[in-house]
Amino acid sequence: MKISVIGTGYVGLVTGTCLAETGNEVVCVDIDENKVERMRNGEVPIYEPHLDVLFERNIKANRLQFSTSLKEGIDHGDIIFLALPTPEDEDGSADLSYVLGVSDEIGKLLSGYKVIVDKSTVPVGTAEKVRAAILKNSKFDFDVVSNPEFLREGFAVDDFLKPERIVVGSSSERATDLMKKLYKPYVRSGNPIIVMDEKSAELTKYAANSFLATKITFMNEIANYCEKVGADVDKVRIGMGTDSRIGKRFLFPGIGYGGSCFPKDVKALHKSGKEDGYDFKILESVIDVNQKQKLSLLPKIESYFDGDLKGKTFAIWGLAFKPETDDIREAPSLDIISSLLDRGAAVRAFDPEAMDNVSRRYGDRITFSTSMYDALEGADVLVICTEWSIFRTPDFNKIKNSLRYPVIFDGRNLYDLMDMEKEEITYFSIGRRDVK
């Protein structure tokens, strides 16, 4: 099939590349000339495991092409995906100016029947607005479909190629049939293509992300309570998670959720609810608790140093908001680093992928290290913010020999408490007893 993808951010790029992988002819459109040129030369503008291999293969096979011309994109595709940013407005709502701006243009450029697919995460009612914006200028027939994405950063290629489900919000049989044909190769295992109305599809995405953010936040509160009463959140987590109604996943407590999706989507659903006369009290709490959770290690750090962090040096392992990505948007590490710097401390940081992004924000206010062990040199203690696999089984002797004090503040519960006792490391984690 002929497919166009408008917008080559994270979602657009993964969508375009993975659709080319099953033999579709894909044109990806972006207004950024420089980026388009780099992509034409085979450069993947984001870090996402396995994407580079698919990218190169499909460019070589001429199935994946890039353009700065919206007209070219609209002429090419039978199905046109909108994968445009919906950033957070100052008041927490989703800014639809990109989506609606492009829809306006599409109306002028249509020259025959097309299916316009909204892939961006958008509030309920956006498909209607997109339809109205296109209709203003178009003489041709078209359909608008809502097809939210459920990709996780770090696993996006796998999530796209083998989705657990595909949600299609469509009120047109013609468009639904085309979408089913397009996605058929991806659901050979029998996973469902769930067809519903556009509004329900739009809400499904917000509801799924907000539910997962709530699940994590609930667990973070249980962890905080564990610390008060001397229970162990790891045991509670396993005890709860083995109930199949609850499930084992997304129950890991830590220093809060981050990224480009959960924080933005929870706020946007809360805001949309308000506008539509519904007060999501649970989401308000989630937003509030998560913000506090990001700094939940700080009182432990302050108490260890008797409230005086001035002149202390902190090694930080992990900057990205989660492993397998270079994304630092809303990353808890940033809140921790800023608080440490504000209190007069110095920071030596290491992350396998995200150091360039952090250095753009902090410049030489922090020192970036060449390896996880280099970050420990001259540091007083270690703080872990992201659970990259390489941090899971470190050489504890090296840690003890490099740090001034053999102390770890672990925001991701990477180590066993008994192991820390054996290693004689002072260890503070989330929702578990301190090892001193």
Instruction: Determine if 431 is a binding residue for ligand UGA (CB under 6 A).
Output: no
Residue pair 324/49 in contact by the 8 Å Cβ criterion: yes
Beta carbon of residue 387, minimum distance to ligand UGA (angstroms, whole number)? 8
Between residues 16 and 254, which has the closer beta carbon with respect to ligand UGA?
254
Instruction: Determine if 211 is a binding residue for ligand UGA (CB under 6 A).
Output: no
Alpha carbons 326 and 348: distance in angstroms, whole number = 18
Between residues 151 and 298, which has the closer beta carbon with respect to ligand UGA?
151
The one among 149, 324, 326, 351 contacting ligand UGA by CB under 6 A = 149
The one among 7, 259, 352, 394 contacting ligand UGA by CB under 6 A = 259
The residue behind tokens 């450029």 is 109
Alpha carbons 223 and 208: distance in angstroms, whole number = 23
Instruction: Determine if 415 is a binding residue for ligand UGA (CB under 6 A).
Output: no
Alpha carbons 367 and 215: distance in angstroms, whole number = 35
Q: Is 261 a catalytic residue?
A: yes
* Helices assigned H by DSSP within 112-197: 126-137, 156-161, 173-183
Instruction: Determine if 216 is a binding residue for ligand UGA (CB under 6 A).
Output: yes
CB atoms within 10 A of CB 336: 25
Q: From the CA atom positions of the chain, what is the Rg in Å?
A: 24
First to last CA, the chain: 62
Give the three-state DSSP class for 396.
Answer: helix
Q: Which stretch binds ligand UGA (CB under 6 A): 78-86, 147-155, 194-202, 418-426?
A: 147-155
Beta carbon of residue 265, minimum distance to ligand UGA (angstroms, whole number)? 6
Q: Point out the catalytic residue in the list 18, 226, 261, 385.
A: 261
Spatial neighbors of 53 by CB under 8 A, at least 6 apart, are: none
Spell out, one character per residue from 291 to 330, where the chain touches ligand UGA: x when CB under 6 A holds, - when not.
------------------------------xx--------
Helices (H) and strands (E) in the chain, counts: 17, 14
Instruction: Determine if 160 is a binding residue for ligand UGA (CB under 6 A).
Output: no
Beta carbon of residue 201, minimum distance to ligand UGA (angstroms, whole number)? 14
Active site residues: 261
Residues that bind ligand UGA (CB under 6 A): 121, 149-153, 209, 212, 216, 250-252, 254, 257-259, 261-262, 321-322
